[in-house]
Amino acid sequence: MTAAVPEELTEYPLSVLLTPPAALDAPADFDAFWRETFAEFGTGDVAWEVTETLDSTSSHRVERILFASSTGERAVAWLALPHGPVSRGRVVGHGYGGRTEPALDGLPADTAAIFPVAPGQEVNPPGRFPALSARHVLAGIGRRDTYSHRFSAADLWRAATVLLDAAPDAAGALDYLGGSFGGGMGALALPWDHRFRRASLDVPSFGHFPIRLSRRCTGSGEAVRQHLRRHPEVRPVLDYFDAAIAASRIRIPVHVGAAVVDPSVDPRGQFAVYHALAGPKRLTVRGSGHLEGPIEELSDELFRQGTEDFFALSRIDQE
């Protein structure tokens, strides 16, 4: 007798995933809401300070900093600044659960990078939002103005401001790179900040909520799905934070990695983000996402290399 495959491990036929889902209807004031959010949090100076100088790499000096978060608190980030001339900049998001150190492997020698930690996520000091992903994804969800994801997206803009303050030569060649939670937050942030010139979103979360909420998963989406069973009145709030709706407003070149199997982020939602993109785009189909093992490691490596190739090609195309 063959054991049943858990719902969260369903592998969809590639033909299904490559077929764009029905387009979503955005709230009438979706664009206005995000433009107002950018005007509030994404413009002007951002205070920051170096709190620790880490060991340098062969190509970069590395500093731990605190910067003024959109929450009114201070958030942690790491700056990696080239020893030599700066040609490019990179804002690097993270998955749900925060980060404890910068991901410096493979960072090009001419690229200045910032690795911010989203509000409430490890290793930030305790503050407005809880660190645990199942609680963070519900924090402030009753209203669009108070939802944690609004501030997580806004802090990507603020991190970009800090990076360009530290490495002004990166202006005009600023990239975004983020996976999972960071992929979804990147999709929300990118349409409104015209400083970014290209982006890479790996297994992006929060795409196409009608799909995301339709089945069980092992990630933060399950916490939202269960919460909505008890509080269906908050469902309209999620439409303002749908990565697929936001992607339809992104016109810069974007590279997406989307998995055919993923227990945490429904593959159909990942592909929906790719399909919705309004500008030049490239797709890398991953064997899996959010799983341990050789297939995941190979998928990670192929996507990383694909991203660097994509950024390099995009740079040539725009020169």
Q: For 42-88, what is each residue's pLDDT tens digit?
A: 999 999 999 999 999 999 999 999 999 999 999 999 999 999 999 99
| The most confident of 4-8, 21-25, 224-228, by mean pLDDT | 224-228
What does CATH list as the number for 48-318? 3.40.50.1820
Using the structure block, give the residue that is written with the tokens 């400083």: 195
Bridge partners, 254 (sequence order):
199, 281
CA 107 to chain centre: 18
- Residue 180's pLDDT is what? 97
Domain boundaries, the chain: 48-318
- Whether the pLDDT of residue 102 is over 70: the answer is yes
- Give residue 11's pLDDT band: very low, low, confident or very high (50, 70, 90): confident
| Amino acid, res. 156 | L
Nearest to 259 by CA among 183, 159, 149: 183
Pick 300 or 61 by higher pLDDT. 61
Instruction: Read off φ and ψ for residue 166, nearest 5 degrees.
Output: -80, -30
- Residue 7's pLDDT is what? 67
Nearest to 190 by CA among 202, 176, 206: 176
Q: Are 181 and 94 in contact (CB under 8 A)?
A: yes
| CA–CA separation, 41 and 182 (whole Å) | 18
- Residue 314's pLDDT is what? 56
Tokens of 217: 């998963």
Taking only the tens place, the pLDDT of each residue in 113-132 is: 999 999 999 888 888 999 99
How many angstroms separate the Cα of 146 from the Cα of each of 57, 121, 136?
39, 16, 12
- Whether the pLDDT of residue 287 is over 50: the answer is yes
Instruction: Tell me whether strands 74-82 and 111-116 are parallel, antiparallel or unpaired.
Output: antiparallel
SS3 300: helix
| CA–CA separation, 177 and 113 (whole Å) | 10
- Whether the pLDDT of residue 315 is over 70: the answer is no
How many angstroms separate the Cα of 263 from the Cα of each of 83, 140, 220, 237?
41, 25, 11, 24
- Whether the pLDDT of residue 95 is over 90: the answer is yes
- Residue 87's pLDDT is what? 95
Angle, CA of 125, 130 and 131, to the nearest 5°: 70
Contacts of 158 (CB under 8 A, 6+ apart): 41, 42, 46, 67, 68, 69, 70, 116
Instruction: Read off φ and ψ for residue 244, nearest 5 degrees.
Output: -75, -40
